[in-house]
Structure 1
Amino acid sequence: MNLQTFSDSNALNQAFAQQLLTILSTAIAERGQATLVVSGGRTPLALFSTLANTELAWDKVTILLADDRYLPTSAEHSNERLVKANLLQQHAAKAHFISLYAEAADAFAAVPQILPRVAALPTFDAVILGMGEDGHTASLFPCSQQLAAGLADDAPAVLATEPTSAPYQRISLSKARLLDSRHIFLHLVGENKYPVLQQALADTDPMEMPIRAFLQHPSISIDVMYAPQ
C-alpha cells in the first residue's frame, strides 16, 4: 500500500487527475485504448469534473463502474446517472461507457446480460475504489450473503449482491476482476475515513472488512489517495 496524503480534496483531485490522465494517455499510446473503472457516491464528483474538463483522446477510453445499485439508469440513486451527469461531459463526453444495468426481474436475473459486457474487457488500466465506514468496497459488503462468492479468486467478473445494511440490490464487479488492473486506487476524503483505514490495516479478515482483500493483497500494491477534508 502506498498512502498519498493531501491537505484537502482540491489538492487531492488535482494530483489524482494528473496521475489518471498520465495512465490513460500511456495506455492509449501503447495499446490504442484505455479502460477506467470508477466508483459512485459524492467523493469523486469534483474529480469527475476535473477529468471531464481535460483534453484527452477520450474516444479511445472505456469507462465503467465498479458497482451500481440495481435501479433504472434514470433513478436518483443510480451511479450510472451520476457518472453520466458528472464525468461523461465536456471533453469526456466522447468516452465509451459500459452499463451495469439490464432490465430483468431483479439484479440476479440481470447478471447473465451484464456479465459478457465486462468479461470481454482487457486488463483495466486504472480502478478507483471507494470505502464505506463498514469496510465495504464496490458492492462487496460484509453483511452480504454473496460476499464469499465475490471475494473468491475464481469468481466471475460480475455478480449480484443484496446487502442487509444498505438499500437496493446491487451489481458489483468481483474482487478478481477489479484486481485485474495495472493501477488500483482507493479514494478517501474525510477525517472519519482514516480510522477505518487503520482498522482495515490492523487485521487480515476480508469477510469482516472486504477492503482488506485489496489493501493487504500479497502481490498487488494499492495507492491510497487521502484528504481529511
Structure 2
Amino acid sequence: MPIIKDHADKSALVTAFADHIAGLIRDAVASHGSASLVLSGGTTPADLFARLDMIDLPWDKVYLTLSDERWVDLDDPASNEAMVRRTLSGAVAKGATVVGLKSVGGTPADGLARTSSRLATMPRPYDLVLLGMGEDSHTASFFPGAMGLSEALSGALGLAVAAVTPAGGVPARITLTLPELLRSRAIALLITGEKKKSVLDAALQPGPVEAAPVRAVLHQDKVPVSIWWAP
C-alpha cells in the first residue's frame, strides 16, 4: 500500500516535498551521475517547482520531462512544459535538460513516434515520477472514459507515450503510458484539499481501473508509491 505523508498545510507540504526532491536529486547524482524526473502540471506542482528552484543543486546533471501534456505549443498558457520552464527557470539556466512531450503534427497521434524517440534520451529508470490527481480520479492523462485510455494503460503500441482524448474532446493530450511511468525508482502522488482526499480514499479501495484510473498507480506492486497531502 502507498505511504501517506500528511502535512499541516500547503506551505508545509511544498517545503517538505521540495527538500525531499532536492535530497533525491543529490543522491541520484552521487550514485549514478545524473537525476531523471517526471513532473506533473498544475497549481500545487508549480508552487513546488518554484520552491525547488531556490535550492542549490547540480542542475546540469538533471533531466526533466512531463507525465503528460496538452497538445498545445509552448506559448500557450495551458502548456505544462512552459510552466515547468517558468517555475524552474533558474534550474534551466544552470543546465537542467527539459524534454518536452509536444512535437510536430496536428494531433498527439501524429507525434507519438517522434516524442517517444525524444524521451529515449532520458536516463532510466526515472529517479522520481511525480503525479497529480483530479477530482475525477484521473492521473497523468488517464481520464475515465477517454478515447485512448486502454492504450495508455497497456502501452500496447510499444511506445513510451500514447494519445488520449478526454470525454468532451478537447484538449487532446499526449501522456506517458503506465508501463513508462513504472520505469521508475519511486512514484509520488501530490494532492491537496479535503475533496481530493475523499477521491483518493475511494480510489485506494478495490474497484475497476477504468472508473478511477489513478488505481493503476495505487494498486500496482512494481514501484513504491508515496502520497503527499495537505488540506
Same fold (TM over 0.5): yes
User: How many angstroms does 1:32 deviate by?
Assistant: 0.7
Matched residues, number: 227
The amino acid that maps onto 1:80 is: E
Percentage of pairs with the same residue: 35
1:53 and 1:92 in contact (8 A); partners too: no
Do residues 48 (structure 1) and 49 (structure 2) align?
A: yes
Unaligned runs of 5+ residues in structure 1 are: none
Give how far 1:190 is off.
1.3
Q: Structure 1 length as normaliser, TM-score?
A: 0.95
| Rounded Cα–Cα distance in structure 2 between residues aligned with 1:165 and 1:227 | 30
Of residues 145, 152, 157, the one that matches 1:143 is: 145
What's the offset of the Cα at 1:107?
1.2
Work out the CA distance in 1 between the residues paired with 2:210 and 2:184: 22
**Counterpart of 1:53 in structure 2: which amino acid?**
M
Superposition deviation, residue 221 in structure 1: 2.4
Structure 2 letter corresponding to 1:56: L
Instruction: Name the structure 2 match of 1:90.
Output: 90
Q: Which amino acid aligns with 2:128?
A: A
The offset of 1:191, in angstroms, is 1.4
SS class of match (1:23): helix
Whether 2:96 is the aligned partner of 1:108: answer no
Residues 135 and 75 (structure 1), Cα distance of their counterparts in 2 relative to 1, 3 Å cut: same
Task: Describe how 1:20-169 pairs up with structure 2 within 5 A.
Answer: 20-87=21-88, 89-93=89-93, 94-121=95-122, 122-152=124-154, 155-165=158-168, 167-169=170-172
Q: Give the alignment's TM-score, normalised by structure 2.
A: 0.94
**For the Cα contact (< 8 Å) 1:126–1:182, is it kept in 2?**
yes
Native 8 Å contact 2:184 2:223 kept in 1: no
> Unpaired runs of 5+ in structure 2?
none
CA distance in 2: counterparts of 1:7 and 1:92, whole angstroms: 31
